[in-house]
Amino acid sequence: MSLMCAARAAPESDAGTKAELDSVEVMRTHLGQDGLWNFLDAARSEGWSVPWIHSDYWVGRLPEKPEGRVSLERAKRAFGLALAKALDGEALTLMKPADSAARESQAKRLLDAADWIRTSRGYGNLLLVTRAENLAHIPIGHLVADLNHPTNAINALMKRVNTPDEGLGFRLAVLDEESPVPIYAVRRGTVSEVSDRLDLAWSRKVKTVAAWCKANGVRFSEAWKHRARMPPECAFFADDEVSTPPYTTVNQWDEKQHKSYCVYGGVTGIRQRVEMLYRFRLHVRAFPTTPPPWFGPQEKIYTATEAAFDKAWEPFGRTYGPIWQSAARTYESIRSNRLMDWETAQIVEALEKSKSPSK
């Protein structure tokens, strides 16, 4: 029997709630004592299942009785926050120089973490999977930039990342569970088409928030501050508008950000950047850094690498689009060991700012 039941439904008895709460606390203790990777090794070997982690907003709407259910949901969220902090620690490790063998190991471990976390489809699980997969693209990007690293190994890693269809399914599952009212959007078609419909459906719901604000003398920009006064079918669509920098999963853990993660899919720009660099490698089969003759010392628009990538991409641009500049910038960031996802960049910036002498 697994240490932790992943089911989202409430346990059938007080004894079941207590047993589940104890198992969550045991996992949290293991994580704190053993570190992220030793914990995940134990979780896989022992068959532990990841908790189904709801949003703080959802937990706050639970009835006060029975008290054990609320305590259990809070414990799951505390465990999830501990995982998010552990991933932040790994993010700083990724900023240290490493060879390709180490980079491949880093990517595999992060994708293993994402695989384990996504076996439960709660709101918190969605945030953690997004973070882990974004982080995995840092070492994957370094592997792409190493022309000696085989493409079949890179392909194997990239195939483990949630596909757009899988990601959309996860996001919709969270919305379907946590929204108190159905969000009507036709779910047939491409990911882009469904996402656009979902955005429109959410916007229609936001109009109910605006109407409530007008009727109750509340500024619409501050609607999120008054969710406790709103009916549930209205309050759910008033996401938090103020965040604490750096804007990371850890700092946003208790915030309500359903639109950002469930409608838009979070900030995943590093994935597109690494994919563009990989596409460039597959077609050009090189990463040129010597600029063409027109590039001179007075050039202010492009770097030497961008100009070289632009020239090398000319035979492919009409078919595959103008990806050369993004690819060049990603390659430059890898060469300077500054390839980072959005969250890691903010963490590093905050650390560097804290270490710089105050003026």
Domain-wise residue ranges, the chain: 14-168, 174-263, 269-352
pLDDT digit string, tens, across residues 193-218? 999 999 999 999 999 999 999 999 99
Average pLDDT over every residue of 340-354:
94
- Contact in structure between 25 and 71 (CB atoms under 8 Å): no
Q: DSSP code of 177? A: H
Q: CA angle 213-242-199, nearest 5°? A: 65
Tell which residue, 263, 234, 240, has the closest CA to residue 175.
Answer: 263
In the block, residue with structure tokens 């980072």: 340
Q: What DSSP designation does 144 have? A: H
Arithmetic mean of pLDDT over the chain? 93
What pLDDT is stored for residue 359 in this prediction? 54
Cα 4 to the chain's mean position, in Å?
A: 24
Residue 7 binned pLDDT confidence (cut-offs 50, 70, 90): very low
Average pLDDT for residues 82-89, to the nearest whole number? Answer: 98
Q: Which percentage of the chain shows pLDDT scores above 70?
A: 96
Report CA Rg, the chain. Answer: 23
pTM for the model? 0.93
Alpha helix (H) ranges present in the chain? Answer: 14-34, 36-46, 56-60, 67-94, 100-117, 123-145, 151-158, 164-178, 191-215, 232-235, 258, 269-284, 304-313, 317-320, 324-335, 342-355
- Per-residue pLDDT of 14-29, as tens digits, reads 788 888 999 999 999 9
pLDDT of residue 65: 73
Q: How confident is the model at residue 12 (pLDDT cuts 50, 70, 90)?
A: low
User: CA 213 to CA 344: how far, in whole Å?
Assistant: 36
Q: What angle do CA 170, 131, 184 make, to 5 degrees?
A: 25
